[in-house]
Amino acid sequence: MPPAVSVQHVHKTYDKTPVVNDLSFTIEAGEMFGLLGPNGAGKSTTIRMLTTLTRPTQGQIEIAGYNVVRKPSQVKENIGVVLQQISVDNDLTVWENLELHGRLHHLSNPKRQSLINQWLEYVELIEKKDALVKTLSGGMKRRLQIARALLHQPKILFLDEPTVGLDPQTRRRLWEIIRDLNRQGMTMLLTTHYMDEVEFLCDAYGTGKPGRIGIMDAGQLIELGTLQQFKARHGEGLIMKQVGDRFEYTFFPTLEQANAYLNNLPDKTGMMVRPSNLEDIFVELTGRQLD
């Protein structure tokens, strides 16, 4: 089986400015992959190239074995896309939006009706099927987008910043839906600038198979792996030292080593030991904090 996503030496340039700069990575079928990075890192541009919405300036992208430039129709059959901008039609009902999408994908009846029912049940919008989309909350619209993206039974789901602007309960509900779909076998690529989102979705602290995280900055992938791999590379223990109104961070391979180092210091004023987390590693790598 070909990889779900294959990106090889991809560049994207707008007006001579590189936005994506020699990006390469592969996602296997069934993986959960979180692309994390600050605003302007090039995440949306990457997802737009992967989903045929914009062409790479240079390099190769294959989705389910199909080249995005040469075989866009086959790519579109294999993918579902949930973009940042709410792209459902506000003047149609929930059902009509799905009906339209199903027809565009040549799903014939009775299968179309049964799939619409199935996915509306799944995202808990069946009671709203006759409501005009403009009357739905932001979270409901996002769930409708997910139902629509799944209607033609794609193998790979792309989600660009899926929970921006949503309240905490709605974010949690969406995370559960996204994680459940992945556990059913759907390959997922999502972009986000929220640490907690990748920690939850890539099951960084859980017991299941952890997803991989790609950290993107200034158009490049600067780190790739599971959170456990990141910690093994950068250090599992951390000493924070207050210097004026800021903190300095020093990584240690293990928490025990960080503790031993601190215990041997005569003056421990303003210092504390704790386990490292994704945000520490992100700040170490990029020299910046998100938001």
Site residues for ligand ADP per CB under 6 A: 14, 19, 37, 39-45
Q: Which residues contact 152 (CB under 8 A, 6 or more apart)?
A: 77, 80, 101, 102, 105, 107
Least distance between ligand ADP and beta carbon 236 (Å): 28
- Between 41 and 178, whose beta carbon lies closer to ligand ADP? 41
DSSP notation for 51-105:
TTSS--SEEEEEETTEETTT-HHHHHHHEEEE-SS--S-TTSBHHHHHHHHHHHT
Which of 210, 206, 235 has its CA nearest to residue 225? 210
Which residue, 98 or 198, is less far from ligand ADP as judged by CB? 198
Smallest CA-to-CA distance from 95 within 81, 113, 107 is with 113
Number of H helices, E strands in the chain: 10, 13
- Closer to ligand ADP by Cβ: residue 113 or 220: 220
Q: Which is nearer to ligand ADP, 86 or 255 (CB)?
A: 86
CB of 39 to ligand ADP, least distance (A): 4
**Pair 157, 186: CB distance under 8 Å:** yes
Tell me how far, at minimum, the Cβ of 13 lies from ligand ADP, in Å.
9
Closest to 71 (Cα-Cα) out of 99, 52, 56, 58: 52
Q: How far is the CB of 93 from ligand ADP (least distance, A)?
A: 31
- Smallest gap from Cβ 43 to ligand ADP, in A, equals 3
CA dist., res. 149 & res. 83, Å (int): 10
d(CA 127, CA 137): 14
| Cβ closest to ligand ADP, residue 85 vs residue 207 | 85
Residue 99 or 217: the one with the smaller Cβ distance to ligand ADP is 217
Q: Least Å distance between CB 41 and ligand ADP?
A: 4
